[in-house]
Amino acid sequence: MTDRHLFLTATTIAQYVAQIVEKHLAPVGLPVHLLALTTHIRDHQPTSPSAISAASGIPMTTLRDKIERLVAQGLARRVPNPEDRRSYLVTLTRKGEILLRAADPALLEAYLALEQHLDRPLAEYQRHLDALATALRETLAHEAPASSVDVRASTQ
């Protein structure tokens, strides 16, 4: 049987990252669950939801709800897509830009705290995580849809 620790470890790492980032972002007022999305928007604006989904790994159905939250909080706006009138592009509002800029020093503190406990340069970890993210994205793109499994039958 294949060692299945990778997914467990990745999930655990995600929990630790969320806790550390949340601790550092709490004084700023940017919810940790919106950090990656606002960063993707800032770095690629104006950008389409499909481009955000491809870059972030957030499924489109989930992304629509998250964009709606950003718009409702005044952190982002939808603008007409000049290339496709049926769709829209997303940009950050001034409030969103200011909030994200305010998060930068807090995130730097989080990185510096983490680096004190690493036995190798942060860039080395980043290269490995980037490669893993690419492999996971390619796996999703090439995998057939999951078949339904009767859990009751497999545990009896």
pLDDT in tens, 96-128: 999 999 999 999 999 999 999 999 999 999 999
Q: Phi and psi of 31, rounded to 5°?
A: -60, 140
Assigned architecture for domain 5-121: Orthogonal Bundle (1.10)
Element (H, E) at 66: helix 60-72
Q: Are 23 and 107 in contact, with CB atoms under 8 Å apart?
A: no
As a whole-number percent, the residues of the chain with pLDDT over 70 amount to 91
pLDDT digits (tens, 9 = 90+) for 56-91: 888 999 999 999 999 999 999 999 999 888 889 999
CA pair distance 45, 152, nearest whole angstrom: 47
CA pair distance 97, 75, nearest whole angstrom: 8
CA pair distance 116, 81, nearest whole angstrom: 45
- Cα torsion 147, 148, 153, 154: sign: positive
Whole-number pLDDT of residue 156: 57
Whole-number pLDDT of residue 29: 86
Per-domain boundaries in the chain: 5-121
- Residue 83 CB-density burial (10 A; 0-12 exposed, 13-18 middle, 19+ buried): exposed
Q: What count of other Cβ atoms lies within 10 Å of the Cβ of residue 19?
A: 11
- Would the pTM count as exceeding 0.85? no
Residues pairing with 78 in the sheet = 90
